[in-house]
Amino acid sequence: MATKIVLVGAGSAQFGYGTLGDIFQSTALYGSEIVLHDINPASLAVTEKTARDFLAAEDLPFLVSATTDRREALKGAEFVIISIEVGDRFALWDLDWQIPQQFGIQQVYGENGGPGGLFHSLRIIPPILDICADVADLCPDAWVFNYSNPMSRICTTVHRRFPQLNFVGMCHEIASLERYLPEMLGTSFDNLQLRAAGLNHFSVLLEARYKDSGADAYADVRARAPDYFATLPGYSDILDYARTHGQLVETEGSTERAWLGGRDSAKPWADRTLFKEVLAKFNYLPITTDSHFGEYIRWASEVSDHRGILDFYTFYRNYLGHVQPKIELKMKERVVAIIEGILSDSGYEEAAVNIPNRGYIRQLPEFIAVEVPAIIDRKGVHGISVDIPPGIAGLLTNQIGVHDLTAEAILNQSRDLVVQALLVDSVNDKCKAIPELVDLMIARQRPWLDYLK
Report, as residue numbers or ranges, the catalytic residues: 172
CA dihedral for 387, 392, 398, 404, sign (positive or negative) = negative
Q: Whole-angstrom Cα distance, residue 11 to residue 446?
A: 23
CB atoms within 10 A of CB 71: 12
Angle value at C-alpha 84, between 101 and 198, nearest 5 degrees: 65
Q: Whole-angstrom Cα distance, residue 15 to residue 26?
A: 17
CB atoms within 10 A of CB 33: 17
Beta strand pairing call for 79-82 and 143-146: parallel
What one-letter code names the amino acid at 291? S
Q: Whole-angstrom Cα distance, residue 31 to residue 64?
A: 10
CB atoms within 10 A of CB 213: 10
Check: CB of residue 195 under 8 Å from CB of residue 277: no
What one-letter code names the amino acid at 276? K
